[in-house]
Amino acid sequence: MPAATVSPGAQTPGAGRYAPSPSGDLHLGNLRTALLAWLFARASGRRFLMRVEDLDRARDSGGANRQLADLRGLGIEWDGEVVFQTDRGKLYTAAIERLSARGLVYECTCTRRDILAAPTAPHAPPGAYPGTCRNRSEGERAVARAAIAPRLPALRLRAPLGDEVLTEFPDLMLGTGRGDIDDFVLRRGDNTVAYNLAVVVDDAEMGIDQVVRGDDLAPSTPRQILLQQLLGLPTPEYAHVPLVLGPDSARLAKRDGAVTLAQLRDHGVSDTEVRGELAASLGLAFEGERPSMDTLLARFDPAKLPREPWIWHPRE
């Protein structure tokens, strides 16, 4: 396996991060995860970095600034400048080229409907890619490209098969995390780099060795670890934390009322009150307390964190 190209930024070890996607204002679930990411990093002596994952064309152009302001309002500060994924296209292209040079990338012209309708291998999870385009000849690929023009083919990873693929990983919160691996997308047909590739390249280049994020992302982690191995990049330690759910036990959403800092401010709730409520949900404060960030850091013990989702109920 070729040695990884390590940037100057990746030579400084020891960093955690938070990486919001600017698709709207952060809600209490996002803010709670950000607070945990900050606490995990600072408690372990790591730097804490901020990355805005703004590759998706549907992102809100002003959302990033509002999100960053809300994080500061909660008391979360970070080291260095904010990193934006839209500034990093050359890094992603270089990673795809390295994989392609080893025969690990192929074109795919399948639509989502095609994938769902195709027969899959026994025991494959629902929606797993069935390998339709994996072994096409160059002539077959040319015909397929012409059939979808002007749309571009997606690029998929030719994932190793069999027992050599690891689908479990150690996790500071879950104990053992699990996820399936198929020939997943590296670059979509609209030329947008896929999340799994971008996050792997970014974390390695930024020197991030601790990833704290919501446990809904745990199933994608084996894919990212596979990419790290194929690219010769280090694997961070992972902590997938429980989500915040609404009163109906579904994922927290706007339908649940005032769930963002801006909405709560309109209801007379201060940012420090929100921080106290989030801290109480983590066992780091008593009800009604408004602890400082330094106080939370002094009390923080990952072993004592709740492992179940927090059910949030709106104020009357």
Task: State yes or no: 142 annotated in a binding site.
Answer: no
Query: What's the CA dihedral at 7, 13, 17, 19 to 10 degrees?
Result: 20
Task: State yes or no: 108 annotated in a binding site.
Answer: yes
CB 169 within 8 A of CB 132: no
Query: What's the CA dihedral at 77, 78, 79, 80 to 10 degrees?
Result: -110
Task: State yes or no: 160 annotated in a binding site.
Answer: no
Helix axes 221-231 and 89-101, enclosed angle (nearest 10): 70
Task: State yes or no: 150 annotated in a binding site.
Answer: no
Task: State yes or no: 254 annotated in a binding site.
Answer: yes
Structure tokens at 42: 């600072």
CB 284 within 8 A of CB 296: yes
- The residues that bridge with 107 in the sheet, in sequence order, are 155
Task: State yes or no: 21 annotated in a binding site.
Answer: yes
Task: State yes or no: 17 annotated in a binding site.
Answer: yes
Task: State yes or no: 100 annotated in a binding site.
Answer: no
Task: State yes or no: 19 annotated in a binding site.
Answer: yes
Task: State yes or no: 129 annotated in a binding site.
Answer: yes
With CA atoms as reference, report the closest residue to 200 among 216, 184, 176: 184
Task: State yes or no: 106 annotated in a binding site.
Answer: no
Residue numbers belonging to the annotated binding site for ATP: 254
- Give binding residues for L-glutamate as ranges: 17-21, 53, 195, 213
Residue ranges at the known binding site: 17-21, 53, 108, 110, 129, 133, 195, 213, 254
> Annotated binding site for Zn(2+), which residues?
108, 110, 129, 133
